[in-house]
Structure 1
């Protein structure tokens, strides 16, 4: 079972280094390992980035490449699955505005144009993690708001049908659904969905 993304502020940052060039990957990994607050793993030769994320469960993925291209970003895009999604910092040697936009679209949250990684990469990694966490919170809030709107629509639809069938007003309809929810230890929206399903079934020929 995949572990959810939940980096600890006290524990070392678990970094996964992905670079198709073994020499570049080793050089970057050696630089990172000089910092005792970082726990560094490299994607083994022949292993896909997705498999490496499954195996190492990193807090952040650092992708380093001489010149990124859209094919190289396909593996990054594959990390968009909820169980695998991780903050990704990308290091490239050459600036490319179009590529940068594509990188952000694929899920990269830190795009860095550097001839060589700096001695202290940790601020960039922490920034990538912070941006990712903020994005996750914003997305969760938007999803919760959207779900609330959808649930209100279902409840309102069920209330209107109940009012029509039972000749009641809106307050009486709401009390009925709330009472059923309390009796069965279920949410009101669940009772509303069950009521709508039952009415639809009874109306079917």
Structure 2
């Protein structure tokens, strides 16, 4: 966890918000901002662009979770929710909404720092997994296009697979492009002509 975080605390109760701010200040020199209302929550969070969002409430509603989904999806930030009691199915809904930590039995000052660290670490882990998944999907799609282009060259020019790929690679090098780009152009052109 970096030394200075921008933290948004969502808490309606002023006294409780002050207690949380004191606990956060004891945990480090952080830029702490409090949002006291659930209405327009996604806009308020996005405007502040925090490193992490801490939500403290007795039991969040599904509307609140939708607001958090809106708030965390565009900018991708860790969100930790502290609830007093567990409502059946709400933990799962919170995780699906992108919440990094769902803590039952409220926000206790002594647990705050390790929970924030865990939420941030979990968020970064899932972010990395999403990037790797996207890269894998992209590579698979490129592989499919390259295979289709090789098939077109094999049929049109009577080449074997190795020579078809060598032709794609040589053309890509000559044009300063990636093999997948040349393959995609070939597949598109063949689609137009066929």
TM-score normalized with structure 1 length: 0.85
Q: What is the match of residue 107 of structure 1?
A: 98
**Structure 1, residues 132-156: CA drift from partner, whole Å, max 9, x if none?**
1111111211221122111111100
What are the ranges of 5 or more consecutive residues in structure 1 without an aligned counterpart?
1-8
Tell me the residue number matched to 2:157. Answer: 166
Q: Are the structure 2 counterparts of residues 117 and 17 from structure 1 closer, same or farther at C-alpha, using a change threshold of 3 Å?
A: same
Q: In structure 1, how many angstroms separate the alpha carbons of the residues matched to 2:156 and 2:142? A: 21
Shift, 1:45, TM fit: 5.1
Counterpart residue number, 2:4 = 12
**Residue correspondence of structure 1 range 183-202 to structure 2 within 5 A:** 183-202=174-193
- SS of structure 1 residue aligned to 2:89: helix
Q: Secondary structure at the match of 2:109?
A: coil
| 1:42 alignment counterpart | 34
Structure 1 match to 2:62: 70
The alignment's TM-score, normalised by the length of structure 2, stands at 0.90
In structure 2, how many angstroms separate the alpha carbons of the residues matched to 1:30 and 1:145?
44
Partner of 1:6: none
Give per-residue Cα distances to partners, 1:141-173, cap 9 Å, x unaligned.
Answer: 122112211111110011001110111111111
Select between 25-34 and 151-160 the one with higher mean Cα deviation.
Answer: 25-34
Mean CA deviation greater in 168-177 or 11-20: 11-20
Structure 2 spans left out of the alignment, 5+ residues? none
Deviating beyond 6 angstroms after TM superposition, the runs of 4 or more aligned structure 1 residues are none
More helix by share: 2
1:44-193 mapped onto 2 (5 Å cutoff): 48-81=40-73, 83-193=74-184
Q: Is the 8 A contact 1:91 1:117 kept in 2?
A: no
Paired residue total: 194
